[in-house]
Amino acid sequence: MPEPAFAVTPGWLPPHPSPSTPDFTVPPGAVDAHCHVFGPAERFPYAAGRKYTPADASKHDLFALRDRLGFTRNVIVQATCHGADNSALVDALRTAGHRARGVATVRPDVSDEELKDLHEAGVRGVRFNFVRRLVDAPPTDELAAVARRIAPLGWHAVVYFEAADLPHLEDFFASLPVPLVVDHMGRPDVSLPPGGLDFKRFLRFVEAGDVWVKVSCPERLSRTGPPAVDGERHAYRDVVPFARTVVERFGDRVLWGTDWPHPNLKSHMPDDGLLVDHIPHVAATTEQQRLLLVDNPLRLYWPEEAR
């Protein structure tokens, strides 16, 4: 085959080869409430219309990371590169049994039978992704139709959007008949003050509805990045005031996740151990940590076990 006449940039970086052991010990029963499985492509091909191609990231590697970081359970979230084919997700859920729940992508014409199968596999929500670099979002009336289908199952909608899009989406979100879970704090611009108008608007939105927030992905939001000094384990410090504000105001509606294997990250591949050491900076008390990592995800994903 002739060499291409241009440099081919891979659409992926592989996950960190050897995440460090965190200093912070997560409480017993902790849930990593935002992570993914990808492929393997030869068994679970990526969607034809995807906007990036990730490195394969298997269920076995995810469960090994769970154990290494001290977590007990996972919430596995369907990412755009698998489109609305939830086979890799369902396969991982079936292997994990009660130790994982899932968030799927479905179309409005999904059959009752398919929804029942997804529920039995452990799916408890759908994801609506509005991030333009990732997906051409379906029209909101289609998404509203999906929400009406899943409401009777007691599921929720995980929503992923950029901060600048919240003003256009807020009325639509308020009209949905299901609880909402916002990915990555609605992606605030952390170079702006946490007390500024944009983040205040986000906090008002959370305050007003049945809205939960993942205080996740400092590695995507940070402008300062991981520590420049070797051995320094307090990373992504510019994100802390935002996450801390959310945890302090909405302690019983926050979740945390690694986002492993960190799809579509082009800047650097985070050390998952360092991400865990970020947690006590955003949830400072043991009570906040227990809510964030155990009680809240159990209420949403394992309500039969929640206290």
Least separation in angstroms between residue 187's CB and ligand 0GY is 8
Residue placing its CB nearer to ligand 0GY in the complex, 189 or 248: 189
| CA dist., res. 277 & res. 227, Å (int) | 12
Residue placing its CB nearer to ligand 0GY in the complex, 105 or 289: 105
Secondary structure of residue 128 in the 3-state scheme: strand
Least separation in angstroms between residue 263's CB and ligand 0GY is 5
Contact 186, 237 (CB under 8 A): no
Give which of 286, 222, 220, 300 is closest to 255, Cα–Cα: 300
Is 259 noted as a catalytic residue in this protein? yes
Q: Which residues pair with 214 in a beta bridge?
A: 255
Least separation in angstroms between residue 2's CB and ligand 0GY is 32
Element (H, E) at 33: strand 31-35
**Interface with ligand 0GY by CB under 6 A: which residues?**
79-81, 129, 134, 160, 183, 220, 259, 263-264
Query: Residue 65 corresponds to which tokens in the numbers above?
Result: 């990371």
**Torsions phi, psi for 191 (to 5 deg):** -85, -10
Catalytic residue among 32, 183, 259, 295: 259
Residue closest to ligand 0GY (Cβ): 79
Residue placing its CB nearer to ligand 0GY in the complex, 38 or 290: 38
Least separation in angstroms between residue 194's CB and ligand 0GY is 21
| CA dist., res. 167 & res. 257, Å (int) | 26
Residue placing its CB nearer to ligand 0GY in the complex, 107 or 220: 220
Active site residues: 259
